[in-house]
Amino acid sequence: MNEINTVHPPVGDERGHDEARSKQLLRRAWWSLALFPVSFVAASLLGGVLLAAMGHDPDIETSPPWGPTLVAGVPAIVVLILPGLAAAWFGRRAKELGEPSGRTAAVTGLALAAAFVLLNVAAAIFSR
pTM: 0.79
Tell me the percentage of the chain whose pLDDT exceeds 90: 64
Q: Which residues of 37-57 are buried (b: 16+ CB within 10 A; e: fewer)?
A: eebeeebeebbeebbeeeebe
Is the pLDDT score of 12 beyond 70?
Answer: no
Is the pLDDT score of 15 beyond 80?
Answer: no
At residue 37 the predicted structure's pLDDT band, cuts being 50, 70 and 90, is very high
Q: What is the pLDDT of residues 60-95, one digit of tens each?
A: 767 788 888 899 999 999 999 999 999 999 999 999
